[in-house]
Structure 1
């Protein structure tokens, strides 16, 4: 049953994405940015609905009251593709830092450009960080947007040792806005590079913001400590839930 439900969800998820790109996103590219942003959020909600109905995977958002108004950084644990579209539904005007290669995908890349997402050339290192900082200051300072960043740079398996990059501390020091840590246990239910979609409840926890003013080293330590502690707690909760369902929470995770 798990394999069949996972197969059905994967087929429907990507079919739904293609249909939205062709029949909704493509026409929306000709409309104001706010319309396209609402379209992207609507697609995200449709994907979450598919997950619940087809794969039996619900979700719970904890700590919405911790989201401050105005420009801020959001530093999220990254275990799965799930949080990339779910986070989009939680903030009024989010901007992601993402791989430049994604901007070259027809329609999807055009959508990212219209939404003024910030591309990064991972091979450029210092120059890339300088360019990202300049663009982020424009989007946060002038437009009051919410900068979404995955401080480890890529998806990490549940329980893997943390690998936080220097870039998040640099941006925190340069932006001068609160940083909102976010913990998840999504990798238990939507494992990276895998076919299975496990039933249960994905939990995403928004932690109290780290206010501006810390030095880079202190900030990096505080951010990692908060995210990892909360994510470990959510992972323990998720593993207990999966075990109660008779599913192996450690298999291929």
Structure 2
């Protein structure tokens, strides 16, 4: 239940984590500009301290389940909030994200996203954006890593249905590597908008990989089924009924 005290704690928490992002970003900037490992170390530090602060300040406990991939894979992840980004990045060794191009111009985030090898896309050009994304990913994958893409293209509130886009399937086909689906319930506690953060158990679950070679339509159907089914189960586990959202 939302209370004034929890709202105040949430507001203070949000101020602290964004100030911490700025401080950490400035401190590590010289290291990050000359070495990618500097950017990786800074972002790992931010992710882990933010999860620690979330538990201490607003009562959100973070749990990672399943087998975390360490080889080159595409990760097709359910995206409900900023928290699932943090949890996934903290868990995988060398994460890089498909991200909207506008984020490159965001202070601190833009510098570190670029240094990590994140792939910016222009979401307004659809087919052209997908083709450019595949070219950029092929160049960036000269270095090992786990490429995270959100098949629905944006954050989706718990219980809300949004169709899965073709971009994940195009990457899966073009790269010829496994795709690891990831489910989450993080949005139940850390919503996509607003200040309020609710205490509880936020989970990201790395599911069984889909090996290369599955036909595009079957791949997308399978990806959506496993992610949505498991995400709904995780939400139900913590007392949220996804079917009750209209």
TM-score range, shorter chain: over 0.9
Rounded Cα–Cα distance in structure 2 between residues aligned with 1:144 and 1:15: 31
Rounded Cα–Cα distance in structure 2 between residues aligned with 1:160 and 1:113: 31
Aligned ranges for residues 128-207 of structure 1 at < 5 Å?
128-140=129-141, 142-207=142-207
After superposition, the Cα gap between the structure-2 partners of 1:85 and 1:69, relative to the gap in structure 1 and judged at 3 Å, is closer
Which digits, 9 at most, give the CA deviation of each residue in 1:183-236, with x for residues without a partner? 000111001111110011101111010001110000000000000000000010
TM-score by length of 1: 0.90
Is this contact kept in 1: 2:32–2:39, CA < 8 A?
yes
| Deviation of the 1:100 alpha carbon | 0.6
Q: Which moved more, 1:74-83 or 1:161-170?
A: 161-170
Rounded Cα–Cα distance in structure 2 between residues aligned with 1:81 and 1:68: 21
Rounded Cα–Cα distance in structure 1 between residues aligned with 2:151 and 2:245: 24
Is this contact kept in 2: 1:74–1:181, CA < 8 A?
yes
The equivalent residue for 1:100 is: 101
What is the SS of the residue equivalent to 1:30? helix
1:4 to 1, 8, 21: 8
Rounded Cα–Cα distance in structure 2 between residues aligned with 1:32 and 1:91: 19
The equivalent residue for 1:208 is: 208
What is the SS of the residue equivalent to 2:239? helix
Rounded Cα–Cα distance in structure 2 between residues aligned with 1:197 and 1:251: 20
Is this contact kept in 2: 1:96–1:147, CA < 8 A?
yes
The equivalent residue for 1:57 is: 60
TM-score by length of 2: 0.92
The equivalent residue for 2:88 is: 87
Consecutive unaligned residues in structure 2, runs of 5 or more: none
Is this contact kept in 2: 1:178–1:211, CA < 8 A?
yes
Rounded Cα–Cα distance in structure 1 between residues aligned with 2:33 and 2:180: 33
4+ aligned runs moved over 4 Å, structure 1: 249-253
RMSD: 2.1
The equivalent residue for 1:246 is: none
Is this contact kept in 2: 1:184–1:205, CA < 8 A?
yes
1:20 to 24, 36, 39: 24
Q: Which moved more, 1:38-47 or 1:5-14?
A: 5-14
After superposition, the Cα gap between the structure-2 partners of 1:251 and 1:214, relative to the gap in structure 1 and judged at 3 Å, is closer
Rounded Cα–Cα distance in structure 2 between residues aligned with 1:47 and 1:68: 22
Rounded Cα–Cα distance in structure 1 between residues aligned with 2:75 and 2:194: 26
What is the SS of the residue equivalent to 2:33? coil
Rounded Cα–Cα distance in structure 2 between residues aligned with 1:114 and 1:138: 14
